Structure formats: C-alpha cells, structure tokens
A = this chain, B = another copy of it.
C-alpha cells in the first residue's frame, strides 16, 4: 500500500468512509460508485476518488467499488488489522463508560488493563478488563508491549501521568482530559477528544444561526414600517 504524505483532511475522512461502507454492507449493498458515496456523505465524487488514490487503486472503471473490498482496504489503511494493545488510565466516570460501552475490539484494539488510584476500584474487573493500581503501571508497561494509552484521569494528573507513560515507551495517547498535552520536544502522538471544544463549536454555529434569524427579522420589520 502506498502512503505518501497524505494530508490530515484526508485521514479524518477515512473513518467516515469506513462507517458508511459498514452501513452499506449492513443494507446488503455490495457495489457503490464514488458519486453515490459522495451523495450520501455530502462530498464530491471527485474528492472521494482522489482520497482513495492516495493509497492505491481500489475501484474498477465502469463498475465502481466493491463494498467489502473497499471496506477491507480502508480498514487496512487505518491500521485496524494490526491488533494494537491499549491500556486505560483513570477509571472514573468517563473511563468506566469506555470500558463498558466502547467496543475496542470492533476497531482492532485490545484493551488489556485499566489503572486507577482509588482503592475501591483497584482489583475489580469490568467487562473482562482488570483494574490495577497506578503504582503497578510502570512495571506493567515494561513487561507488556503497549501501543496506546487512553488517558481519562482528572485534570491535575494529566501531565504527570503522560510523563510516566512516555518514560515507559508509550508512543500514542488518546486524550480525554481537557488539557493540551502536546509538549514542544515530545514526539508522542496525541489524539484529543475535547468535549468542550466540540460543544463550543456547536455553540458558535447556533449563535450564528440565531444572529442570522434576528437580522432577517429586523430587515422585515423595517420593510413593513
């Protein structure tokens, strides 16, 4: 598979393609064209073809794309067949929700262990995932190859825990804390899930629409006058 300097925008679209392809599969659709895909995702056919062409030639002229094949290709591009191993740090509300409800294995991940400081959760097992003490974390990381850490600790613990993780070889963090983790000289890969950023974007769009409505109303009031 080629992999030549692909832009961020392209990468962010890949999971959406995957999701749509799964949906089509579930509907029994086995063949799809870039224009159909574009219509359903709100993208131009051209963009879709160009996105895929970053990684290879997955379609067939005059036919389109074979859904299961394309799905497999996109999954491979995303690394879903690499069986990455993950640990979760912080079994609070959000951490707990992830263990119980987020199906890591659906996306090619294996959640091997969780860690927390609270004595009442240490030693328990949720959804087949054992909760260990954070004190055991360094040794665990040294002994078990771990590709990503899911960070769901309270705000104050975010930076120290990140230091610990990187010091023990973790190279990627899925960050659920509302803290900017990326440090200047660190090479760790950070993917943020900032709830507040998302909500504030929504807030912006709602405000924008409200203002447009108000402006329209004002214009009409003036006209009637």
Q: Which residue of B lies closest to A96 (CB)?
A: B93
Is the beta-carbon distance between A206 and B172 smaller than 8 angstroms?
Answer: yes
Is the beta-carbon distance between B200 and A80 smaller than 8 angstroms?
Answer: yes
Alpha-carbon distance A207/B196, docked complex (angstroms):
28
- A29 interface residue, CB < 8 Å from B? no
Is the beta-carbon distance between B11 and A201 smaller than 8 angstroms?
Answer: yes
Which of A30-38, A62-70, A105-113 contacts the other chain? A105-113
Give how many copies assemble into the complex: 2
- A3 interface residue, CB < 8 Å from B? yes
Given contacts A19-B178, A109-B199, A191-B199, contact A204 B11 (CB under 8 A): yes
Is the beta-carbon distance between A3 and B211 smaller than 8 angstroms?
Answer: yes
Given contacts A3-B211, A191-B198, A195-B193, contact A84 B42 (CB under 8 A): no
- A16 interface residue, CB < 8 Å from B? yes
Contact partner of A97 (CB less than 8 A), chosen from B97, B172, B211, is: B97
Alpha-carbon distance A57/B15, docked complex (angstroms):
38
Q: Which residues of B contact A102 (CB under 8 A)?
A: 195-196
Residue-wise, chain A 173-201 has the 8 Å CB interface mask toward B (1 for contact) of: 01000101010000001011111111111
Is the beta-carbon distance between B211 and A14 smaller than 8 angstroms?
Answer: no
A108 CB to nearest B CB, Å: 7
- A163 interface residue, CB < 8 Å from B? no
Residue-wise, chain A 141-154 has the 8 Å CB interface mask toward B (1 for contact) of: 00000011000000
Is the beta-carbon distance between A189 and B207 smaller than 8 angstroms?
Answer: no
Given contacts A193-B193, A199-B191, contact A205 B172 (CB under 8 A): yes
Q: Which residues of B contact A15 (CB under 8 A)?
A: 194, 196-197, 200-201
Known contacts A19-B196, A82-B207, A171-B209, then 7 further A-B pairs from the complex at CB < 8 Å, ordered by chain A residue: A15-B196, A16-B180, A19-B180, A23-B180, A79-B203, A107-B200, A107-B203
